[in-house]
């Protein structure tokens, strides 16, 4: 199974990117091949142009990775009560998959993660991501992960996961991704 992760910010040590990476690592431990498109990679994408212009190598890499994957993990920070522009621009580029035999995220599980400084933003942003995945014909896993970075400390100074509740949620989401992805792969 191939699992593609999309998400992160340009902040050094982005919690969003590390959380997406942690779900990918859990999937890899269960046998998946994984690829992460983190903040700096997403920042190399130009603003999405819907007019069928020549895509850059970075754009093509993301579109091909999603085209050939069996499952996804998408993470966004809550920015001003919603999905960040960096992450949404990458998702919009996947419009290039609209005419595929398996369009967009069709039939595939998508694990969702939000990191924000308050519970309200984690909730509304997670709901927005679920709406996006439904619009793109994907199947959000039952468990979405919402991390409040003000009241929770997901990672320790060594960069390892330090919160057992979050670690448990990551393992559970990865298990749901792998179980559903194996059925539809
Ligand atoms: C431009 C911007 C807007 C933000 N808007 C919100 C918000 O509306 N609600 C909230 O709870 N946190 C907000 N935050 C805080 C981030 O969501 C939070 O710090 C998040 O964990 C950052 O993710 P990162 O560690 O991946 O950079 C905002 C941060 C920035 C930089």
Q: What is the pLDDT of residue 52?
A: 76
CA atoms within 13 A on the CB side of 81: 0
Residue-by-residue pLDDT tens, the chain, 185 positions: 999 999 999 999 999 999 999 999 999 999 999 999 999 999 999 999 999 789 999 999 999 999 999 999 999 999 999 999 999 999 999 999 999 999 999 999 999 999 999 999 999 999 999 999 999 999 999 999 999 999 998 998 888 899 999 999 999 999 999 999 888 77
* Token reading at 165: 């509740």
Confidence at residue 4, expressed as pLDDT on a 0 to 100 scale: 98
Shortest-distance Cα residue to atom 1 of ligand 1: 79
On the 0-12 / 13-18 / 19+ scale of CB atoms within 10 A, 164 is: exposed
The total of structural domains in the chain comes to 1
Top mutation candidate among 7, 40, 79, 115 for ligand 1, by most atoms within 8 Å of CB: 79
Residue with CA closest to ligand 1 atom 24? 14
Residues spanned by the domain of 74: 2-184
User: What integer pLDDT is reported at residue 181 of this predicted model?
Assistant: 84
CATH code at 42? 3.40.50.360
- pLDDT at residue 58, as a whole number: 98
Q: How far is the CA of 185 from the centre of ligand 1 (A)?
A: 35
What is the model's pLDDT at position 157? 87
């Amino acid at each position: 199974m191939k699992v593609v992760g999309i998400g992160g910010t340009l902040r050094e040590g982005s919690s969003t990117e590390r959380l997406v990476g942690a779900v990918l690592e859990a999937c890899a431990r269960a046998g998946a091949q994984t690829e992460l498109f983190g903040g700096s990679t997403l920042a190399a994408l130009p603003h999405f142009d819907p007019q069928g212009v020549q895509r850059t190598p970075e754009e093509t890499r993301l579109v091909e990775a999603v085209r050939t994957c069996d499952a996804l993990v998408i993470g966004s920070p809550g920015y001003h009560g919603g999905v960040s522009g960096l992450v949404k621009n990458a998702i919009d580029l996947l419009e290039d998959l609209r005419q595929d035999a398996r369009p967009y995220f069709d039939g595939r599980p998508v694990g969702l993660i939000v990191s924000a400084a308050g519970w309200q933003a984690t909730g509304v942003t997670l709901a927005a991501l679920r709406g996006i995945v439904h619009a793109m014909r994907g199947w959000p896993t039952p468990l979405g992960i919402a991390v409040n970075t003000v009241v929770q400390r997901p990672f320790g100074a060594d960069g390892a996961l330090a919160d057992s509740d979050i670690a448990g949620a990551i393992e559970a989401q990865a298990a749901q991704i792998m179980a559903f992805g194996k059925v539809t792969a």
